[in-house]
Amino acid sequence: MVVTFTDANRLWFGDTDAGFNPVAVTITSSAGTLNFTRTIEVTTAGQGTGNVTLSGRADYINWLLQDLTYTGNAGTILVQINDQGNVGTGGMKIATMTFTIAPLILEPV
């Protein structure tokens, strides 16, 4: 199964106080690999594995995520975003989202 994260499936996040400061994103797949072909001033690790980490400006990471592809079986994808404390009050904040990947079963017509 191949899932692309474009258009309606797009992953996007925002952090109003991060500005141009770097944020960190970790994407973990339970049953497949994560790939992207775009690169732009984002430090990446784990390309082609089930655990990808990204560090850089939020707008650059969002642009890179438009090209994310999941290849594997049904499972889950966990996305964790860490603002690294940056400018806002209250120190470091972490947001977590989990997506279920399941095959679309169409009934015969």
pLDDT, tens digit, for every residue of 26-80?
A: 999 999 999 988 878 899 999 999 999 999 999 999 888 888 899 999 999 999 9
Q: What's the confidence (pLDDT) of residue 31?
A: 94
DSSP conformation letters of 21-83: S-EEEEEEESSEEEE----SS-EEE-TTSSEEEEEE-HHHHHHHHTT-EEEESSEEEEEEEE-
How many domains, the chain? 1
Please name the residue that has the structure tokens 């992207």: 36
pTM: 0.84
pLDDT at 6 over 90: no
Tell me, yes or no, whether 109 lies in a domain: no
Which pLDDT band, with edges at 50, 70 and 90, does 84 fall under?
confident
- Domain span at residue 81? 2-101
**70 close to 32: Cβ distance less than 8 angstroms:** yes
pLDDT at 105 over 90: no
Distance CA 46, CA 53 (A): 7
